[in-house]
Amino acid sequence: MSLMILRVVKILWEISLLMVLFGLGACDVNPGTESRFAVPADMAQTTEEQDDQQPRYNILLILADDLGYDHYGFAGHPVVKTPSIDALSNRSIRFPAAYVSSVCRPTFATLLTGLPEHRHGTTYIGGPQLGDFLTIADRLTTVGYRSFQAGKFWEGPQARHGFTDSAPLGGATGNKKIGRVTIEPVVRFMHDTSAPWFVWFSPHMPHSPHNAPDRHKASYRDAELDDATLDYFAMISWFDEVVGELLREVDEDTVILYMADNGFVQSDWPEVPEEKSKGSSYERGIRTQLLIYHPEYEAVVRTELSQAVDVTATILAIAGADYSGLPGRDLLVPYSAEEPAFGSRSSIFATDGRESVLEERWIRVGDWKLVDIENSDSDRLHNLSLDPDEKSNYIVRPEHASILAQLRLELEKKWRE
């Protein structure tokens, strides 16, 4: 089956959208409508083919917005209360060394396209909307899935990126009422959809404003926290409550993936992150917990490196959709004699920028991490086992010259891929 046909159809749809904008036609992209295109005959699976691939799992992707990788009960935090996500973790495959971008938008673009930042071109929250890429929703449509997006979304109408259904955008960065006010559109879609479905749930939570209800603030009154941290932790608990409400609406056969779009550590200033967290290439900015619940897999902690491109590939693999040509790995691939752990990767690579201008490239191989800063002599080399808080820069130590050279070669290799 050729993805080129779908790309052509997608371009034709965008032309029709331009006709609508100039009063030359009509196009209905309201929530609950059918897909914006008819699936090409040679890409669509027949009912018999789909039956042969049973079971066909419903898939729920939950994206936290600004949540530190250790701000969970299951991750050992002594104060933060996350009972719903803890319960999900207890029955999931957990990847504590999963990596994303340092801010939300490039992470979203990577999950949408299955491509790293330097290939889809979105490296920060500014810049033009995402270009013409085949998306995860496009690919899922080819195997009979309906797809629903609700909450934060940067790239304009969700239908333009292949979602068959969606909650209204409500603003340039998506619908801020999803989660804080209601999850009803999401629940209605899940309950009313007979076809296998994919739900992308990304509420603006625990992102600012940190205005959690008093019942959540009250649970932290005795923790001796400053006001800014108390308000942030209360938002995490509110988000956890929303996650629990959503999870009660799905059955045990639903595949659930959970992660954050970027890291966050609250500073002394209300709703402002610490310098070495969100927006930075330090671990506190780019690392997240990744949870995958699948009814056929037992709960286990997997310490190998993973990243956002792998999440896209894993979702597509679960659905039986094509992800050839994408760099991500299916994280559910069984153990093999050739690999130390299933779905393992020896290195990861990402870029970071401001207003779509490249500022940094970074790579991790094993415990070593190199941050290459553009037009600067301030590159950083860290050993995350010896120095998890990245306080020391080993780049100045001559005994690590061979490690540094290896990382630079690997970074340039990834940059050219």
Mean pLDDT in order along the chain per 10 residues (417 residues): 46 38 29 38 48 77 98 98 98 96 96 95 87 96 98 94 94 90 97 96 98 97 96 98 98 97 97 95 97 96 94 98 95 61 66 74 95 91 97 95 96 90
Tokens of 52: 């042969």
- pLDDT tens digits, residue range 172-197? 788 999 999 999 999 999 999 999 99
288 vs 351: CA distance, rounded Å: 16
Topology adopted by domain 350-416: Arylsulfatase, C-terminal domain (3.30.1120)
Per 3-state DSSP, the chain is made up of helix, strand and coil in percentages (nearest 5) of 30, 20, 50
Instruction: Report the distance separating Cα 311 and Cα 114, nearest Å.
Output: 8
Q: What residue ranges do the domains of the chain occupy?
A: 1-29, 58-347, 350-416
N-terminal to C-terminal alpha carbon distance within the chain: 24
For residues 79 and 156, give the distance between their C-alpha atoms in angstroms, rounded to a whole number: 38
Identify whether the C-beta of residue 263 lies closer than 8 Å to the C-beta of residue 277: yes
Torsion angles phi and psi, residue 169, rounded to 5: -60, -50
**Could you tell me the two tokens for 150?**
């609700």
DSSP character for 117? H
**CA dist list (Å): 405 to 195, 228, 347, 376:** 51, 42, 15, 17
- The CATH class, in words, for 58-347 is alpha beta
What was the pLDDT predicted at 375?
A: 82
Q: What percent of the chain has pLDDT over 70?
A: 83
Q: Which of 193, 196, 277, 194 is nearest to 232 (CA)?
A: 277
Residue 127: the pLDDT is: 81
**DSSP letter string over 384-410?**
TTT-TT----GGG-GGGHHHHHHHHHH
The whole-number pLDDT of residue 49 equals 52
User: Of 289, 414, 397, whose CA–CA distance to 383 is shortest?
Assistant: 397
Give the per-residue pLDDT at 23: 34
Q: Phi then psi for 216, rounded to 5 degrees?
A: -85, -35
